[in-house]
Amino acid sequence: MNRKLGLRRSVGRLWHHFFFHKMTEPSDPAPTAPVSTPASSAPGQAQPATENSPQTLPIRDSKPTQPTGDAPASTDGAADKPLSPAELKKKAKADKAARRIREKLEREGGTTGSTTPTPSVGAQARPPSTPKKDATGTGSAQKGPRAPPPRRGSGPVAQTGSVLVEQKKKKDDKKVSVFGHLYGQQRRVTVAGATKEVHHAILALGMQLMDYTICGSSARCVATLIAFKRLIESYTTPMGTSLARHLTTHLSSQITYLSTCRPLSISQGNAIRALKLFIAGIDPSTPEASAKISLCEYIDSFIREKITVADQVIADSAAQKIQDGDVIVTFAGSSIVKQTLLLAYNRGKRFRVSIIDSRPLFEGKSLARDLAKSGLDVQYSLVHSITHAIKDATKVFLGAHAMTSNGGLYSRVGTALVAMSAKERASGVEIPVIVCCETIKFTDRVALDSIVVNEIADANELLPMDTPVSLVVPNPDAHVPPTPENKKGGNRTPAPEPLVTPHKTSSSPLADWHNTPNLQLLNIMYDVTPAEYVDMVITEMGSLPPSAVPIVHRMVTNL
């Protein structure tokens, strides 16, 4: 029910998204252009003003106007002195200057040309070239006054190869080397560049996944399945192929799109695998209409069995573990834990809940809100106070993103700290750590640490933000080099467009971290809690020790 609500809300969010990007694209040059055009069309002698104006956008504008901008300047000078030879001389000079400028521009386009000291050569020739120079030079020169560098803006406008190379190098510098293997591809931030086969429901879903509107392993899984259902409903098999064969490849392209928005969760992967298996099993002789109906039915029953009912079963058995007077600690916001706690409360159990939350997603906030509104006694704190929250706890309930085959709990980063604290309290009494997890989240992968398998989110999310809504603001920063999948779509120019950096406080010392050498921000999404910290995994198939995960996983997948 909540999930549906969330979906509806998120569709609205998507519209906001479209709107947002649509608006920012054309509107951004508009305000900046007037700022800089006066500067650049001002008499040629007034370069100092333009020199450090970081506007890079209007280069295209200013270049055509530039010669004319110079010409009026010279004619003005001529108007004062009506001597025609002098006028001619001036004109020749201006022409020469203009030519020099053009040459310079070309030269810069060809080579790296980010050497800052050169401009002293042609003082007259400065105005048009300086903005460009800034565009390329932002990397080395740290611009004090304007915190968010205009680098991104310069990308699409002045698509010089050198800029891209430099940005790429810088980007690499910002990658934490230990996690190098996880940076793979930049997350997509707009729908632009998606192939036309991608269904609109999938497009929408991708955006919602990307900005965490749909967040949480099971929510993502359900949303994906629902989107696939809509895709299948509107699907017609092209001539010459069979549904079973074509639909699978068709799905694959959708899945590729989804995975560029955010790496697929284990649950999504499992659901997709099951769906593909089912599609492959469809008898080619069945008519398309009935095949589609059976597919939709399969998806519905899959959602019902694996998630909706499974959640009810889990909540039911987990709620039985809660007793009056308990102090339950939970980390971040898990839907199944919420369901469990609410169920226990509605059954008349009276207990206290202590929610530990973490940056940057603050998922616990909505959990705290929902629980508190239902009347539960809720305490809210952040990761730094784990020890204090765990001190008088009696049970720890955790949600899961996945359970690995070696019994590890793969969940929101910070979970391991909570589980560890529960097991190693100062008083020496261990608190039971109970994980609620549907079997759809079981995987046959194994993980010893949180580094080999993980997901890297955009580091800009870590910048302190003032706006309370900023959580859902996508991070338009991390998309500079058009990623491989981007180049397929012809219109790559608008892809890295949204140059909306000001969502972070300019006062933050980190605002300029992209240009600060050697400084890296790391925002990983998950960590692996070792099996020894988990006492019990409650699944729809019963309560198990973590060591039973591979067995159950085999049972489930072999069905």
Partner 1 sequence: MPSSSLALTPGLGSFLKCLKTNPIDTSIETLISLLKRRQIRHSRSCATATAYLLRSVISACRTTDSAKLIERVQSVGRRLMAAQPREMVVGNIVRRVLGLIRDEAEDDRDAEFALSDIGSESQPQTPRAYDDPSLPLDRDSPSFRSDDRSSRPPLTSMFSLLSHPEPENSLPSTPGSSSPSGRLAGHGPSKDVRAEVLEGIGEIIDELGQVDDQIAAYALDHIHSNEIILTHTSSTTVQKFLLKAAAKRKFTVIHAESYPNNHEATHATVSGSAVSDDDNLGLEAFQKPLIEHGITVILIPDSAVFALMSRVNKVILGTHSVLANGGLVAAAGTRVIARAAKVHQTPVVVVSGVYKLSPVYPFDFDSLIEYGDPSKVLPYEEGDLVDLVDVQNPIYDYVPAELVDLYITNLGGHAPSYLYRIVSDHYRKEDISF
Residues near partner 1 (CB under 8 A) are 176-178, 355, 358-360, 365, 368-369, 372-373, 377-389, 412-414, 416-417, 420-421, 424, 426, 449-451, 454, 462, 464, 468, 508-510, 512-513, 516-524, 526-528
- What tokens were used for 301? 């029953």
What residues have CB less than 8 Å from 165, skipping those under 6 apart? Answer: 112
431 sits in which H/E element: none
CB–CB of 288/253 below 8 Å? no
What residues have CB less than 8 Å from 469, skipping those under 6 apart? Answer: none
Q: Quote the Cα angle for 75-63-481, to 5°.
A: 165
- Least distance between partner 1 and beta carbon 109 (Å): 32
Q: Give CA–CA dist 488/480, Å, rounded.
A: 16
- Least distance between partner 1 and beta carbon 262 (Å): 18
295 sits in which H/E element: helix 288-302
The smaller minimum CB distance to partner 1, of residues 339 and 523, is found at 523
User: Of 209, 198, 201, nearest to 256 (Cα)?
Assistant: 198
Amino acid at 368: A
The smaller minimum CB distance to partner 1, of residues 59 and 389, is found at 389
The smaller minimum CB distance to partner 1, of residues 47 and 515, is found at 515
- Least distance between partner 1 and beta carbon 454 (Å): 7
What residues have CB less than 8 Å from 339, skipping those under 6 apart? Answer: 311, 312, 314, 315
- Least distance between partner 1 and beta carbon 332 (Å): 9
- Least distance between partner 1 and beta carbon 451 (Å): 7
The smaller minimum CB distance to partner 1, of residues 257 and 526, is found at 526
- Least distance between partner 1 and beta carbon 508 (Å): 6
What is the Cβ-side half-sphere exposure of residue 318, based on CA atoms within 13 angstroms? 35
CB–CB of 298/276 below 8 Å? no
Beta strands 433-436; 395-399: pairing state: parallel
The smaller minimum CB distance to partner 1, of residues 114 and 358, is found at 358
- What tokens were used for 64? 């055509």
The smaller minimum CB distance to partner 1, of residues 129 and 404, is found at 404
- Least distance between partner 1 and beta carbon 417 (Å): 5
- Report the residue count for the chain: 559
The smaller minimum CB distance to partner 1, of residues 52 and 387, is found at 387
The smaller minimum CB distance to partner 1, of residues 61 and 461, is found at 461
Q: Give CA–CA dist 547/57, Å, rounded.
A: 58
Q: Quote the Cα angle for 29-33-37, to 5°.
A: 160
The smaller minimum CB distance to partner 1, of residues 54 and 408, is found at 408
- Least distance between partner 1 and beta carbon 448 (Å): 8
- Least distance between partner 1 and beta carbon 347 (Å): 21
